[in-house]
């Protein structure tokens, strides 16, 4: 890796750790590259929530022109729903707000419910999301206690399988188009059964042809820079 190569552009695959924002990762790597090579243009190709782990793709130099095309690629996620409760942000970042009775829920109902989400549909992003409303992030408005009116987005869930059910925990596998919020999927999954659910764990494993198997931890990438 040289300054010329970085300016020409490389694609960096990072396995984002829990509780890091996507910007935390970009800033950490950008600072390390700047210290070693000087200013390098760098950006990421799609935000992962702090409570999610997995594949985060960064591009440098001229490769930043490819960011949009990578963002447009389909995504694959694995994770776990907590069934029988809801939170304001649809994941574990905030405490449980409401509990539901799940004693009558069957595995058959859960599997049929998952099947009902397949295909093109309109989905509402969470109020606690990075969607912009009049120039401000939705989560900024939500945290300030202001009303958040988010428009729905067209998405396509191409595959949605429940891989293990041990209530209240439900493991899943999802293949979907860009812009799909798995947090919203969790909330809607519960609501469609007149119940509740939130995202307990999420891991992004694939974006287009890029896979988590080829990703490095932040520490591994930084160590590689140091040894150059």
- pTM score > 0.85 for this model? yes
Q: How many Å apart are CA 228 and CA 225, to the nearest integer?
A: 5
CA-nearest of 179, 198, 162 to 78 is 162
Q: Which CATH architecture has domain 3-72+209-226?
A: 2-Layer Sandwich (3.30)
Q: Would the CATH topology of 3-72+209-226 be identical to that of 75-207?
A: yes
CB atoms within 10 A of CB 22: 20
Strand 197-207 to 52-60 pairing? parallel
Q: What is the pLDDT along the chain (228 residues), one digit of tens a residue?
A: 788 888 888 999 999 999 999 999 999 999 999 888 888 899 888 888 899 999 999 999 999 999 999 999 999 999 999 999 999 889 998 899 999 999 999 999 999 999 999 999 999 888 665 555 555 655 555 555 655 667 889 999 999 999 999 999 999 999 999 999 999 999 999 999 999 999 999 999 999 999 999 999 999 999 988 776
Query: 218-226 and 22-37 are packed helices; what angle lies between their axes, rounded to 10 degrees?
Result: 0
Q: What are the domain boundaries of the chain?
A: 3-72+209-226, 75-207
**CATH of the domain spanning 75-207:** 3.30.2350.10
Other beta carbons within 10 angstroms of residue 151's beta carbon come to 9
As annotated, the active-site residues are 49
């Amino acid at each position: 890796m040289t300054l010329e190569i970085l300016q020409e552009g490389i694609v960096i695959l990072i396995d984002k750790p829990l509780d890091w924002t996507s910007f935390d990762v970009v800033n950490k790597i950008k600072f390390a590259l700047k210290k070693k090579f000087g200013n390098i243009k760098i950006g990421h190709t799609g935000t992962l929530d702090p409570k999610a782990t997995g594949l985060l793709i960064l591009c440098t130099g001229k490769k930043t022109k490819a960011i949009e095309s990578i963002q447009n690629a389909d995504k694959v996620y694995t994770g776990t729903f907590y069934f029988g409760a809801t939170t304001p942000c649809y994941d574990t970042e905030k405490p449980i707000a409401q509990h539901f009775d799940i004693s009558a829920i069957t595995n058959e109902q859960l599997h049929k419910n998952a099947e009902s989400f397949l295909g093109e549909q309109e989905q509402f992003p969470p109020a606690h999301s990075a969607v912009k409303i009049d120039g401000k992030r939705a989560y900024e408005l939500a945290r300030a206690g202001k009303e958040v009116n988010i428009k729905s987005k067209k998405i396509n869930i191409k595959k949605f399988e429940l891989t293990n059910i041990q209530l209240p925990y439900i493991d899943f596998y999802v293949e979907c188009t860009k812009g799909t919020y798995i947090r919203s999927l969790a909330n809607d999954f519960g609501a469609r059964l007149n119940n509740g659910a939130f995202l307990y764990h999420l891991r992004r494993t694939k974006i287009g042809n890029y896979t988590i198997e080829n990703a490095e931890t932040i520490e591994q990438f930084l160590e590689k820079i140091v040894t150059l």
